[in-house]
Structure formats: C-alpha cells, structure tokens
Amino acid sequence: MLTSDIQLVAADVTSTPFSRLRRLFKLLDQPFLGPVKVQNREFNSWLADEANRHVRLLDRTLREAHGAAKTRDDAEVLRKAAVILFRSEPQDPYTLQLLLKIFNAEQDAESLQNYFLQRRRAVERGH
C-alpha cells in the first residue's frame, strides 16, 4: 500500500485545522508529482482525480482554519493558501467569497488587488 503526505494530512483529526492547513499549504505549494510525464489515459485520469481531491481538501481545510489566524505569519499562510485555491477554482463563487473573507475585502476589493500586485512584483523580483 502506498500513502502520501496529503493522505496523512487528510487523515489527521487530532491537530488543529490551522496546523493541517500549514502542512497542506507546504505540500500544495509545489507541483504535484513534479516533472512526471506519462502518456497514459488511466494515469492522466487518476492524476486529474487526485488534483481535484487535493483542491477539495484545501477548500475544506481553509474553510475550517480561516478564523483561526493569530499572527501575521498565520494570516499570510491563509492568504497564500487562498490564492492556491483560487487558481484551481477561479470561477467558483464560493471560493471567491472565501477569498474575499480571508483578505477582509468584502467592502474593499482594492486591498485584494493590492495584494496580488505586491505578489506579482515580488515574483518579478525573484522572491
């Protein structure tokens, strides 16, 4: 039997949602299976199913943890995890609502735009 780090996070019911979110974010902030390239319909189907499962796990964990941020570092993890989720589900209205809550931007979409602008500039500078 093969297990993955993602399965361990999903099965963990003893740690806090925010602790699980931190671990999950570290795992999902990198390409799934890295440079693996297989030209096989069954493998590609499995890969798509796993990616969808990871997105659902991130969504669930993010929703459980979003009110538990206590520090700036916690808030940054929430924002980065929300961005990963939004990239996976940009058309989902529930994801957008969660993103706005996490960015405290229900009334002020400008703060959300500013965050993305700062992140883009940091990426352009190589940070």
pLDDT, tens digit, 9 for 90 and up, residues 27-64: 777 766 666 777 888 888 887 888 888 888 889 888 88
Tokens of 78: 């929430």
User: Is 70 exceeded by the pLDDT of residue 95?
Assistant: yes
Average model confidence (pLDDT) across the chain? 76
pTM, full prediction: 0.66
The whole-number pLDDT of residue 38 equals 77
The whole-number pLDDT of residue 5 equals 55
User: Percent of the chain, pLDDT > 90?
Assistant: 0
What are the start-end ranges of the H helices in the chain? 5-11, 17-28, 41-65, 72-88, 93-102, 109-125
Report residue 7's pLDDT band, with 50, 70 and 90 as the boundaries.
low
Report residue 2's pLDDT band, with 50, 70 and 90 as the boundaries.
very low
Report residue 1's pLDDT band, with 50, 70 and 90 as the boundaries.
very low
Cβ-in-10-Å burial (0-12, 13-18, 19+) of 58 comes to buried
